[in-house]
């Protein structure tokens, strides 16, 4: 399987990538790790006339600490995230999520920015960045702009990113000491993508849930926070009984879609099961 | 478009269409047919090579993306007549039957052993999740990776850990 022909250009800076996007209008696409785009191009589901490779753009790489946040370049690979000592120390939820994506080869090529720009409904990062309240830092012809993650995911494969913008960095507030976390996924047995994945962040004060944040990916067109579950947990004892009670609300009004592997009904059932599991794992980490 | 890469220590420069996938570049432009195409859909890992030291599925990388890179294919593992420890271990432990998946398996295993010289069985299985084998049932492949780990640790004089 060979993609349709295209013109290939290497961008050396974000500014150059933006001006190339402007110059080619809707005919061009950015290329990051290529692990979503190239498979689509091989199937000819996507046929961009121009590919703008972000590979050489140094400023899009690397992870650094800035105040109480960790700032991650869009071109950072899943493997670099999963093995970064800084990410593992300050945002272990994101490292745990990155480590569960696909397989080693996919993690060696795929990037954080590519995954968040692509917004595959079965991608893993969306649930993690939603509970972490990340900020998406983009650059376009009009300059830089920051989009809070709560406004990022618009629909299946659709984000708030404009066609002539590059997602440059993801700014993630560091997790606080004593906060529990977990990313729990059910991988599709063939592809490794999430049938569903649940991200949890849990703050507990003297045995009582002070704040719980829960998000789910894979079940519907886009990843979502689960506010009903979060509200039901606030102020409750941090124990299995209240987690089980709150997790029942995970499927309440959840927009689940049937796919070849699982029915919407089964996914709604799994949402409650995985929410409870995720909360229990997060609680274990509070206690550690 | 020109691509210059170093494959198994040899520099190659060729003109290719930008849509040429790395695996076809290796097989058809450079004649290195040890790298196999199994699924062509990023699933099976038969096309795995090391790109700047890391295992990648070469059916999902454009040759032009590899510009300037160091690539290792199965042809680059042995030193002259001396098999690489991972090759010797696949032989000794019967880590292959038809052999179709083997080049990719071995390169994924090399990526693992570079990061983790003494992997547990569970870590080996996790590291080979991107490589499918239709023949062996995987057990002998896992045994081979463990044997290679022991041989390589012994060779560098490091204490050989238990499983
Ligand atoms: C076999 C296989 C298994 C996989 N399993 C999983 C899994 O379990 N979980 C999971 O989450 N994902 C999985 N993936 C997807 C993988 O994580 C992709 O790498 C990722 O979704 C896209 O990142 P990329 O860097 O490869 O982006 P690309 O494929 O290069 O780009 C994807 C899209 O985003 C755009 N884009 C890329 N970077 C930017 C940027 N900086 N700014 C603006 N737009 C940009 C591109 O134009 C393109 O439209 C799998 C992929 C494969 C092939
Ligand atoms: S041929 Fe590349 S993964 Fe199967
Ligand atoms: S030995 Fe035949 S596919 Fe693995």
What confidence score (pLDDT) does residue A189 get? Answer: 84
Q: Are the Cβ atoms of B41 and A5 closer than 8 angstroms?
A: no
Q: Summarize the confidence of residues A248-252 as an average pLDDT.
A: 95
Q: Is residue A107 part of a domain?
A: yes
What confidence score (pLDDT) does residue B158 get? Answer: 54
Asked whether residue A76 falls in the same domain as residue A126, the answer is: yes
Residues B24, A214: Cα–Cα separation, whole Å = 44
Asked if pLDDT for residue A228 goes beyond 50, the answer is: yes
pLDDT by residue (tens digit) across A45-71?
Answer: 999 999 999 999 999 999 999 999 999
Residue in A157, A164, A159, A158 with CA at minimum distance from that of residue A148: A159
Asked whether residue A40 falls in the same domain as residue A75, the answer is: no
Query: Which helix (H) or strand (E) element contains residue A243?
Result: helix A240-247
Q: What stretches in chain B show pLDDT beneath 70?
A: 158-163
Question: Closest-lying ligand to the alpha carbon of A101?
Answer: 1
Domains held by chain A: number? 3
Asked whether residue A159 falls in the same domain as residue A186, the answer is: no
What confidence score (pLDDT) does residue B159 get? Answer: 54
Asked whether residue A185 falls in the same domain as residue A97, the answer is: no
Whichever domain contains A235, its CATH number is: 3.30.390.50
**For residue A38, what is the nearest residue in chain B, using CA coordinates?**
B60
What confidence score (pLDDT) does residue A192 get? Answer: 86
Ramachandran class of A207: left when φ > 0, alpha when ψ lies in -120 to 50, beta otherwise: left
Asked whether residue A17 falls in the same domain as residue A65, the answer is: no
Whichever domain contains A76, its CATH number is: 3.30.465.10
pLDDT by residue (tens digit) across A4-31?
Answer: 999 999 999 999 999 999 999 899 999 9
Asked whether residue A238 falls in the same domain as residue A154, the answer is: no
Written as one string, the DSSP assignment of A104-173 is HHHHHH-BHHHHHHHT-TT-SHHHHHHHHT-EEEEEETTEEEEEEGGGTEEETTEES--TT-EEEEEEEE
Last residue of a domain, one of A144, A173, A202: A173
Q: Are the Cβ atoms of A2 and B127 closer than 8 angstroms?
A: no
Asked whether residue A247 falls in the same domain as residue A169, the answer is: no
Residue nearest to atom 44 of ligand 1 (CA): A117
Q: Is residue A1 part of a domain?
A: no
pTM above 0.90, yes or no: yes
Per-residue tokens: A209: 């849930």
Q: Is residue A215 part of a domain?
A: yes
Q: Is residue A95 part of a domain?
A: yes
Strand, coil or helix: what is A238?
A: coil
Domain that holds residue A220: 179-286
Whichever domain contains A17, its CATH number is: 3.30.43.10
- Which positions ≥6 away from A100 have C-beta within 8 Å? A124, A183, A185, A187, A197
- Chain A residues closer than 8 Å to B54 by CB: 79, 108
Q: Is residue A153 part of a domain?
A: yes
Asked whether residue A123 falls in the same domain as residue A71, the answer is: yes
Residue B39, min C-alpha distance to chain A (Å):
10
Q: Summarize the confidence of residues A101-119 as an average pLDDT.
A: 98
Domains within chain B, CATH numbers bracketed: 2-76 (3.10.20.30), 85-157 (1.10.150.120)
Asked whether residue A185 falls in the same domain as residue A125, the answer is: no
Residues B146, B120: Cα–Cα separation, whole Å = 8
Comparing CB atoms, the residue among B45, B48, B62 nearest residue A34 is B62
pLDDT by residue (tens digit) across A139-190?
Answer: 999 999 999 999 999 999 999 999 999 999 999 999 998 899 999 999 998 8
The CB-side HSE value for B140 (13 A sphere, CA atoms) comes to 17
Strand, coil or helix: what is B102?
A: helix
């Amino acid at each position: 399987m060979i993609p349709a022909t295209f013109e290939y250009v290497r961008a050396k800076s974000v500014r150059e990538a933006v001006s190339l996007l402007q110059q080619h209008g809707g005919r061009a696409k950015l290329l990051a790790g290529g692990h979503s785009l190239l498979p689509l191009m091989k199937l000819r589901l996507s046929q961009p006339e121009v590919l703008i490779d972000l590979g050489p753009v140094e400023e899009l790489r690397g992870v650094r600490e800035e105040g109480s946040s960790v700032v991650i370049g869009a071109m950072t690979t899943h493997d670099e995230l999963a093995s970064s000592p800084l990410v593992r120390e300050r945002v272990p939820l994101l490292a745990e999520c990155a480590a569960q994506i696909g397989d080693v080869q996919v993690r060696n090529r795929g990037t954080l920015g590519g995954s968040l720009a692509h917004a595959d409904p079965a991608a893993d990062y969306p649930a993690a960045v939603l509970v972490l309240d990340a900020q998406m830092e983009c650059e376009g012809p009009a300059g830089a702009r920051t989009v809070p993650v709560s406004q990022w995911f618009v629909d299946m494969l659709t984000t708030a990113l404009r066609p002539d913008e590059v997602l440059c960095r993801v700014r993630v507030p560091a997790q606080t000491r004593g906060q529990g976390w977990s990313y729990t996924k059910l991988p599709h047995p063939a592809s490794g993508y999430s049938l569903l994945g649940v991200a949890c962040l849990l703050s507990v004060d003297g045995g009582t849930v002070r704040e719980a944040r829960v998000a789910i990916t894979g079940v519907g067109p886009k990843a979502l926070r689960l506010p009903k579950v979060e509200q039901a947990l606030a102020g409750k004892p941090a124990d299995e009984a209240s987690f089980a009670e709150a997790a029942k609300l995970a499927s309440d009004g959840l927009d689940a879609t049937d796919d070849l592997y699982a029915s919407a009904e089964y996914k709604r059932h799994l949402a409650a099961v995985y929410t409870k599991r995720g909360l229990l794992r997060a609680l274990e980490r509070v206690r550690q | 478009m020109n691509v210059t890469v170093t494959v198994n220590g040899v520099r190659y420069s060729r003109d290719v269409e930008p849509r040429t996938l790395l695996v076809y570049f290796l097989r058809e432009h450079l004649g290195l047919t040890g790298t196999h195409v199994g699924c062509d859909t990023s699933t099976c890992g038969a096309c795995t090579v090391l790109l700047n030291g890391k295992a990648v599925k070469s059916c999902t990388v454009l040759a032009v993306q590899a510009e300037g890179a160091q690539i290792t294919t199965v042809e680059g593992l042995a030193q002259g007549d001396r098999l690489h420890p991972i090759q010797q271990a696949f032989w000794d432990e019967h880590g292959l039957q038809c052999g179709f998946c083997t080049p990719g398996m071995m390169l994924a295993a090399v990526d693992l052993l570079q990061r983790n010289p003494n992997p547990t069985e569970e870590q080996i299985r996790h590291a080979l999740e991107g490589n499918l084998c239709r023949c062996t049932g995987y057990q002998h492949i896992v045994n081979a990776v463990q044997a290679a780990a022991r041989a390589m640790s012994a060779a560098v004089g490091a204490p050989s850990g238990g499983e």
